[in-house]
């Protein structure tokens, strides 16, 4: 009986440590990536809006060609912008088209973030559930001040 319970507790703990926690870490990493994307696109939108406001037609900038070595570059015509749409494809847009696309993209990114947040929450809930199960198995009193796990 006792050994059976011990074994069960061990299996639950293994489930938490080897399945749920790595899942959680993975989900958080994924969400961070999406956050980064969101930042990239907000930056891009701000930049394009800036160009529009200042009605820039030609542009000179510095290009990083690797190892922090910069070279001057000239953009004769800023009307056409190539935006990354994923999977290595770049689509040629005008500014308004680009802004349109970025809006849609941002919406999608926000949705993704929401999804990942949900996922993370559910994984955390599962972890908590299993921990509670272990507590019950060990017949420990349900402490009010149970040491909170910080994720």
Partner 1 sequence: MDESTKKGSVTSLASLFPVEEAQRAAKRVEDTIADKQSELDRLRGFATDNNSLINLVHKLPEQLSHDIMVPFGKAAFFPGRLIHTNEFLVLLGEGYYAERTSKQTVEILQRRGKSLDSQVDSLEANIKDLEAEASFFNATASQVAEGLVEIREDYLEKDSNEGEFKSGHLQQEAPNLGNATADDGEYARMLAIMDELEKEELAAESGNHSDQNDESTGDFHDISYREHIDNKLQNSKDVHQSELLDQINNKIITADLPKKQNRKEDITDQLNFASLAVESRVKERENFVEYIDPSEKIPARSKERSVQATTASKTEVRHQTSQPSFDSRKAFTGSIIEHAENIKPTTRQQSSASSQDSGSQSSKPVSRFKMQRR
Residues that bind partner 1 (CB under 8 A): 40-41, 43-44, 47, 59-63, 65-78, 80-84, 90, 98
Give whichever of 112 and 126 is closer to partner 1, judged by the CB atom.
112
- By C-beta, is 88 or 141 nearer to partner 1? 88
Check: CB of residue 47 under 8 Å from CB of residue 69. Answer: no
123, burial (CB in 10 Å: exposed 0-12, middle 13-18, buried 19+): buried
Which residue lies nearer to partner 1 by CB, 76 or 141?
A: 76
Q: Could you tell me the smallest distance in angstroms from the CB atom of residue 112 to partner 1?
A: 15
Residues 6+ apart with CB under 8 A from 50: none
> Least distance to partner 1 from the beta carbon of 17, Å?
20
Q: Report the nearest approach of partner 1 to the CB of residue 27 (Å).
A: 23
Q: Residue 69 and residue 89: Cα distance in Å, rounded?
A: 27
> Is the Cβ–Cβ distance between 15 and 130 less than 8 Å?
yes
């Amino acid at each position: 009986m006792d050994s059976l319970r011990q074994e069960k507790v061990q299996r639950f703990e293994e489930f938490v440590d080897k399945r749920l926690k790595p899942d959680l870490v993975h989900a958080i990493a994924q969400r961070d990536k999406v956050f980064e994307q969101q930042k990239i696109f907000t930056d891009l939108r701000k930049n394009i809006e800036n160009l529009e406001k200042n009605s820039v037609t030609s542009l000179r900038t510095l290009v990083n060609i690797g190892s922090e070595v910069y070279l001057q570059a000239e953009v004769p015509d800023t009307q056409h912008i190539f935006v990354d749409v994923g999977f290595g494809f770049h689509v040629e847009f005008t500014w308004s088209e680009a802004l349109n696309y970025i809006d849609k993209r941002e919406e999608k990114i926000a949705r993704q973030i929401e999804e990942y947040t949900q996922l993370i929450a559910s994984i955390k809930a599962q972890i908590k559930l299993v921990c509670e199960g272990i507590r019950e198995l060990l017949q420990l009193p349900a402490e009010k001040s149970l040491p909170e796990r910080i994720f």
